Amino acid sequence: PTNFFNEKYRPQYHFTPMKNWMNDPNGMVYFQGEYHLFYQYHPESTVWGPMHWGHAVSSDMIHWEHLPIALFPDEIGFIFSGSVVVDPCDSTGFFNGGEGLVAIFTHAGEHPVTRKPRQVQSLAYSKDKGRTWTKYEGNPVLEEPAIADFRDPKVIWYEEERKWIMVLAAGNHVRFYSSNDMKSWDFESAFGKTEGSHQGVWECPDLFSLPIDGVHRWVLIVSIGDDPAYHEGSRTQYFVGDFNGKTFMNDNDPDVVLWLDFGRDNYAGVTWSDVPKEDGRRLFIGWMSNWKYANHVPTSTWRSAMTLPRSLSLTSTSEGTRLVQKPVHEVSVLREPVTSIKRTITLVPDENLLKDIKSKTFELKASFTIKEAAVFGLKVHQSNEEETIIGFNSQRSVLYVDRRKSGDLGFHDAFSCVQEMAVLEKEHVSLHIFVDKSSVEVFVNEGKQVLTSLIFPKEESDGIELFLDQGVVDLHSLDVFNYHSIWTK
Ligand code: FRU
């Protein structure tokens, strides 16, 4: 069908709401064969407003079915970000001894007596696979009247002590609470007042452990909001360390800042709860926008998309333990092979090996060896007037995405920019790139570094160029897969 999710800029294989405003992913949980994705949603318009939880389900995190709104604002307040867990043994008493889903979210409203703004934590539960929700009559379940920014609870099951742990953002730090029934919470500890980046208010934390070299380390994700003083806008950092059910201990010096993504457009991301042990993956999705300009991006009937779902793991580097992100293997169901080069070719300036390929929605994988200091890479969404450059400068050891000519830039001063990240490995470089109608996601060297960026090119800009500006570079392999829309089959 034409005109079905086919508006200008509408992503073809990234999750978007059918219409109107979306921000953070919320309450991602796997339950009885379904991946749930809830999200901050304003059903009345294409800008942020009274928050609801929108809802979608998928069996593969790629094809989504839109479902009715799950949670509506009420007398306690708007429904801000939060999480969902499976309560398998009815610790809450909501399920008559059976199992069900529990949502833990922030109610943002006013104190009933003083009328001062406040953020408190509340519960809702579902006995029908997330289709309908009942708010707990004892809401809110957690208040800290002295803390103004107090939100985005992420609840996990801490098996070692068989208790629930909640991590939530409190302005300039995160706080950990524990509970047996999710209805009453005990404060355990605070972390972060003097650690990591404070270039914005702390939001949307997540906490999980991952295996590395036969042990487990804990990862604490913390998003930091937009602050007018920093042109990068909202970003997401993470910490690696240990968690003992009470406190988080950072492996790194307090001033070390680890960015989850080096692009401008991956915010408020957290991971799925209750992914089966046999699967073993830690699955992540982020909001592909930036509070700096999110309300102004030039889309029409809807605003915002999610990143591709990604699988997280840890790796050891010369600088310490670091996160690795890979697109989930399920994306390969979208692949339609376009070209495949499996021999070594020395790149020649002005000879574009991809000149016959036209696509606006594709995956590209390529690996290179740099023989002499080089500047090379790919130009996507290319036409006479437009291009988005995904380049590698081996002398500076920098991968960059230049969106200064990527299309519509006029909606906000901060949008036009070059985004850069340092790449440790500079002799062998592999690029794994996902291009949609209004985004590029670049995974470098098997996901050791990632850069996610919005772009707003014209429909006509569908060229792809493999370019060499300087130096000597061998291409070893290259694959391009065209992607179809997930909304039509
Ligand atoms: C992050 C955030 C959260 C809050 C939500 C409100 O993007 O500001 O801290 O819960 O968005 O929509």
User: Is there an atom of ligand 1 within 6 Å of 289 CB?
Assistant: no
Burial 61-84 (b: 16+ CB within 10 A, else e): bbbbeeeeebbebeebbbbbbbbb
Q: Are 48 and 23 in contact (CB under 8 A)?
A: yes
- Considering the chain, tell me which residue range(s) the CATH 2.60.120.560 domain(s) occupy: 330-483
pLDDT recorded at residue 1 = 43
Q: Check if 261 is active-site.
A: no
Separation of CA 268 and ligand 1 centre (Å): 8
Q: Where in the chain is the domain with CATH 2.115.10.20?
A: 20-327
190 forms beta bridges with 175
Q: How far is the CA of 95 from the centre of ligand 1 (A)?
A: 29
| Pocket probe mutation, ligand 1, options 71, 151, 202, 287, max atoms within 8 Å of Cβ | 151
- Given the residues 24, 87, 261, 265, select the one marked as catalytic: 24
User: pTM for this structure?
Assistant: 0.97
Q: For domain 20-327, is the CATH number 3.40.228.10?
A: no
Q: What per-residue confidence (pLDDT) applies to 3? A: 56
Domain 330-483 has CATH 2.60.120.560: yes
Per-residue three-class SS string for 395-454: CCCEEEEEEEECCCCCCCCCCCCEEEEECCCCCEEEEEEEEECCEEEEEECCCCEEEEEE
- Ligand 1 nearest-atom number relative to CA 291: 7
From 80, 154, 201, 266, give the residue whose CB has the most ligand 1 atoms within 8 Å, as the site to mutate. 80
Please give the ipTM for the structure prediction: 0.98
Sort strands 302-303 and 20-31 into parallel, antiparallel or unpaired. Answer: parallel
Q: How far is CA 78 from each of CA 40, 120, 187, 267, 429, rounded to the nearest angstrom?
A: 10, 11, 24, 20, 46
453/443 Cα distance (integer angstroms) = 12
Place of tokens 């799950």: 70
Could you tell me if the CB of 204 is within 6 A of ligand 1?
yes
Distance 372 CA to ligand 1 centre (A): 46
Nearest CA to ligand 1 atom 8: 203
Alpha-carbon torsion (375, 376, 380, 386), positive or negative: positive
Residue 26 CB less than 6 A away from ligand 1: no
Is residue 271 in contact with ligand 1, taking CB distance under 6 Å? Answer: no
Whole-angstrom distance, CA of residue 104 vs CA of residue 85 = 8
CA of 80 to the centre of ligand 1 (A): 6
Ligand 1 geometric centre to CA of 71 (Å): 15
Please report the pLDDT score of residue 334 as a whole number: 96
Identify the pLDDT of residue 487.
86
* Whole-number pLDDT of residue 426: 85
User: pLDDT tens track of the chain, all 489 residues?
Assistant: 445 788 999 999 999 999 999 999 999 999 999 999 999 999 999 999 999 999 999 999 999 999 999 999 999 999 999 999 999 999 999 999 999 999 999 999 999 999 999 999 999 999 999 999 999 999 999 999 999 999 999 999 999 999 999 999 999 999 999 999 999 999 999 999 999 999 999 999 999 999 999 999 999 999 999 999 999 999 999 999 999 999 999 999 999 999 999 999 999 999 999 999 999 999 999 999 999 999 999 999 999 999 999 999 999 999 999 999 999 999 999 999 999 999 999 999 999 999 999 999 999 999 999 999 999 999 999 999 999 999 999 999 999 999 999 999 999 999 999 999 999 888 999 999 999 999 999 999 999 999 999 999 999 999 999 999 999 999 999 999 999 999 874
